[in-house]
């Protein structure tokens, strides 16, 4: 093996693919009094956020370049528009993914689109009761 081949072999072994971390934008799901992100979803989701005292006490999704197994509105909002994000575009959580609109649904204070079908069923039920009276 000549010197060039040995150098090329060492170089090829030492090259490692590194993916840049894309930190999310600050979202207001922090519990400021205790400096944690316990309002950012369930325990699994909370662990994926970092409290940022320099950003008005907001939380940031730690790594938007990795799509988590489950999404929520806080993740969608935090990663929306972040360069290198693997989280789908959109500021709201709608159905099973992020979306830029709620298309006929209402938005909760945790960036989740909530279907209006429950309200429709309730209105129909009230109408039926009124007809029977």
**The pLDDT value given to residue 93:** 97
**The pLDDT value given to residue 92:** 96
**The pLDDT value given to residue 14:** 41
Distance CA(115)–CA(90), nearest Å, equals 17
**The pLDDT value given to residue 23:** 95
Nearest alpha-carbon partner for 40 in 31, 92, 94: 31
User: ∠102-97-46 over CA atoms, to 5°?
Assistant: 105
Spans of all domains in the chain: 21-132
Which residues, at least 6 apart from 128, have a Cβ–Cβ distance to it below 8 Å?
A: none
**The pLDDT value given to residue 7:** 42
**The pLDDT value given to residue 6:** 42
Instruction: Give average pLDDT by consecutive 10-residue segment, the chain, 133 residues.
Output: 46 47 93 87 95 88 95 97 96 96 90 76 62 70
């Amino acid at each position: 093996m000549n010197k060039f081949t040995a150098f090329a072999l060492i170089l090829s072994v030492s090259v490692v693919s590194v993916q840049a971390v894309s930190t999310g934008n600050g979202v207001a799901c922090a519990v400021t009094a205790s400096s944690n992100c316990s309002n950012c979803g369930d325990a699994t989701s909370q662990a994926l956020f970092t409290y940022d005292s320099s950003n008005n006490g907001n939380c940031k999704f730690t790594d938007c370049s990795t799509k988590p197994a489950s999404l929520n509105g806080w993740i969608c909002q935090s990663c929306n528009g972040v360069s290198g994000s693997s989280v789908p575009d959109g500021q709201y959580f709608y159905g099973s993914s992020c979306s830029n609109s709620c298309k006929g649904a209402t938005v909760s204070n945790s960036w989740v689109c909530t279907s209006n079908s429950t309200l429709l069923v309730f209105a129909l039920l009230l109408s039926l009761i009124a007809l029977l009276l």
